[in-house]
Structure 1
């Protein structure tokens, strides 16, 4: 990371805050009584853009996304959606914050389609919504043929795409994608990047944690994590 990169700050374009704007303000993030993983992080993820979060393994990418998702409460500072501080994961879900975790979080006893349908129903979708969104998201990820397969019957890459399909089916205002291309070949990686771009185009704020410099370069801005701090690689 070049020393010329400016520090992260809260300066944003003037104007009204758009729905789905996620702000992290001077946050200190740590687990339990351990040392801080990240300190002094201030960043805004805006509707209509894809923000890359980069850094080496252990730099804090997953930690930051967990805080943005309400999974991890900041020890200091705040995380808010549209000005409302997050109080936990359930609260974040109610504000339509979708987390697509690095560990896919799929239920092994369910099929690919069932994993998606259950998530849509759990977030207020109707059975008709669940059927339609499940079919659409699986098709978008090239997984229509795997809809009725159990998760354990899928390859690692197919599981990763199923987790992404589930996240896309939820139609979040904020979409947090953690290393969702790590097990994919070039063609499927491009498919995923196109789908994340489509999420931004419909108005979502998309945050994409990745260690892939080519994937990061396809995003609108890039926040780099190193040595417990965040700096802009591309503001």
Structure 2
């Protein structure tokens, strides 16, 4: 379980982006993180992922205060960033396989899991294409495949349906809900009201503060 307790977050000496934000991300549930562009959705996800240290308050995972990104990885916190974070000189399949092998999965099993996850996202035909040859939407789905294949205890996804058509957007939503049913705590940042409505809970960011809408 990931808990954000009265967290204030900002960059450098600039005024804080978020102030006194509190929320608990529970296993088995999908939390939609909403707000206008610039509201602080990515900032909050970065704090949850151990990439950004709060100025005040605490981020805890399973009762332990989160120290940094390495500590977050040790606690199986997976982040799918908005910019996808893929290696452009590797194929779609290689991007997923490398992450799995680095996480301790044996190469044959990594290949099997990669093929299965790419197939779930309609990317079997693009498995051997370089990332730089893929469309924006295909790159997004590859990043999602990599994040889901890692089977994190906490899965953080930042605007991962922004470039997808309705069919592929539903595929991604189904996959994120499958992860929650597996027992993961899922946080999905989105500006899409329809997508947010499909989640069990919603935290809305406005003027640097958070409002629980549902859940």
Which of 22, 25, 45 is the equivalent residue of 1:45?
Answer: 25
- C-alpha distance in 1, partners of 2:187/2:159? 10
Aligned to 2:43: 63
Across the two proteins, how many residue pairs are aligned to each other?
Answer: 215
Q: What does 1:113-124 correspond to in 2, within 5 Å?
A: 113-124=93-104
1:128 CA drift (Å): 2.3
Pairwise CA distance, 1:125? 1.5
SS in 1 for 2:8: strand
Moved over 4 A (4+): none
Alignment of 1:99-110 (within 5 A): 99-110=79-90
Counterpart position of 1:204: 184
Write the deviation string for residues 132-183 of structure 1: whole angstroms up to 9, x where unpaired.
2111110010001100000010000000000000000100000001000000
Residue of structure 1 equivalent to 2:116: 136
Residue-by-residue CA offset, 1:181-233 (whole Å, 9 max, x unaligned): 00000011011000000000000000000000000000001000010000012
Mapping 1:7-22, distance limit 5 Å = 21-22=1-2
SS across alignment from 1:31: coil
For residues 70 and 112 of structure 2, the distance between their equivalents in structure 1, rounded to whole angstroms, comes to: 25
Where in structure 2 are there 5+ consecutive unaligned residues? none
1:125 pairs with 2:105: yes
Q: CA RMSD in A?
A: 0.7
Normalising by the residue count of structure 2, what TM-score does the alignment of the two structures yield? Answer: 0.99
